[in-house]
Amino acid sequence: MNFLKKHKYEVGLAAIIVLATVLRFYRLNYQSLWYDELYTMNEADPSLSWKTFFDFYLKDEHPPMFFAMERIMFTLFGYEDNVARILPAIAGVLNIYAIYLLGKEFLSKKLGLLAALLLTVNSYAIYFSQEARAYTFFSLFATLSLFFFLRVLKQRKTSDIVKHGVSTALMLYSHYFSLFAVFAQLVLVIIFWLNEQEHKRALFLAFFKSMLLALVLYVPCFPFLYATSKIEKYWTEPQPVTFVLNYYADFFGAYYFLYLFLFFLPLLYLYFVYRSWQENKSIRKNPVVLSAIVLMTTIILSFGIPYLRSVLVTPMFQNRYFFFTIPLFILIHAMAIVLIKNRVLSYSLFLLFALIQLYNVIIVQEYYSKVRKEDMRSLTTYIADNGKQYSIINEKSAWNQQYYLKKKGYTGNYVLGKMEVTLDSIVKGINKRPLTDTVWLEGGYTDHRAPEEVMNEFGTKYTKVSEQHFHDAWAELWVKKVL
């Protein structure tokens, strides 16, 4: 009992990490790989040469680090869909420890512990911990970078300067949106430098060294970053000015029982910040005010800069690109709860908030028992079982589907392109691409069916003999009529 009392925070953290591991690894391969994850499978295919691999990222909008790690995993443990999700799940678990460290650095072990549990049960964090993409790595290194930023700010130890430089470089290698997080840190350096009274030069040199280290480590990625900067148009759509509120709701499951917490806790936090500022106007020595400056600056600039560029130049983001801000919002929630002096009220509010989120994941969203992703695995299995030699006509997702097509032994060919144009060319007899007399029409994610009039014309040449629908995916088998 004395041991538990003495090490209650460490024991609590260990229990939370165990829970986080279970929530992130349980039924890891239950959902099919969807469009983006299949993109990962194609990009990280270990049968490709490393030259082909790196050439691809001179045309892609993501840094190559995560995909190189995935490729190595496939080489070591097999080119399998369950292997693809292991690294993101591990990074998702490590992020729990990272947010604990950040919360402890801001205020206390108690804050770190509460934030760790809230991140553990966050539906968005669980979802992307089971997705073969780089978002959990981005969040992990962004959280660690901010943690070591605070350490450098407070202590300026050489070891912390090095760790800040390395973690910032790894963040930059994880996702190009990390540039906005780095910019936010540079703004914070200016704010704290202007506020510094005694050690301006030491503060400047500490961050100059850490940022220079990050820059040097990032040099190998410059060609990929330059190539990405030349992309004139992304696939993303314009977002309304209220996008931050929409994304904020998405980050916590968009469950109506949570809205009261999501609205109330930030307001309560701002109240505590204001009250704390009235009592102590020192930025560096007031942890509540310090947290507000760091968290709010990072959030505002991380959302504001890409939105401004999207309005002025071209749309460039989706909600998942801001996944790294979830720990920041959670720290705001957790600090609001921690600062409530009434312990019964504080713990009751916290437990209710955490339990509702866990209820939302398991019961409302049925995350572990309901198919939620584009079911390309079942679609491909159906095609392989009912005619793996027949040609596939698909708008665009068949290229991503290559992994499952190979795995299921598909031997035919696929024809990509706007489906109505392809079908129209077949009806008019001007199609030049090879096709079997029996063909599959299939699609998923953003694939569009041909208009009804085009399908009616196609029906004069072909007869539909079977069809099957899956979650966000479908397949139809058509046989050419004998005239």
Each residue's pLDDT tens digit, 328-357: 999 999 999 999 999 999 999 999 999 999
Which tens digit of pLDDT belongs to each residue from 76-99? Answer: 999 999 999 999 999 999 999 999
- Rounded to an integer, the average pLDDT of 4-32 is 93
- Rounded to an integer, the average pLDDT of 162-178 is 96
Say if residues 48 and 406 touch (Cβ distance below 8 Å). no
Task: Confirm whether pTM is higher than 0.85.
Answer: yes
- pLDDT of the residue at 483: 66
- pLDDT of the residue at 64: 93
Q: Which helix (H) or strand (E) holds 144?
A: helix 135-154
Neighbours of 428 (CB within 10 A): 10
CA atoms within 13 A on the CB side of 196: 15
- pLDDT of the residue at 285: 85
- In order of 56, 132, 165, 256, 470, the CA distances from 19 in angstroms are 38, 21, 31, 25, 32
Say if residues 41 and 84 touch (Cβ distance below 8 Å). yes
- pLDDT of the residue at 304: 94
> In 317-375, where does DSSP find H-type helix?
326-338, 343-359
Which tens digit of pLDDT belongs to each residue from 274-327? Answer: 999 999 888 888 999 999 999 999 999 999 999 998 888 888 888 899 999 999
pLDDT of 9 strictly over 80 = yes
- pLDDT of the residue at 87: 98
Which residues are registered as beta bridge partners of 476?
441, 467
- pLDDT of the residue at 480: 93
Residue identified by tokens 């280290």 is: 213
**What does the mean pLDDT of the chain come to?**
93
Tell me which residue of 361, 302, 352, 306 sits closest to 327, measured CA to CA. 302
pLDDT confidence of 188, banded at 50, 70, 90?
A: very high
pLDDT of 446 strictly over 80 = no
- pLDDT of the residue at 66: 96
- In order of 180, 182, 224, 321, 334, the CA distances from 315 in angstroms are 16, 21, 20, 13, 33
pLDDT of 3 strictly over 80 = no
- Rounded to an integer, the average pLDDT of 218-224 is 92
- pLDDT of the residue at 196: 80
Q: Which helix (H) or strand (E) holds 475?
A: strand 473-480
- pLDDT of the residue at 310: 87
pLDDT of 1 strictly over 70 = no
Share of the chain above pLDDT 90, in %: 78
- pLDDT of the residue at 404: 94
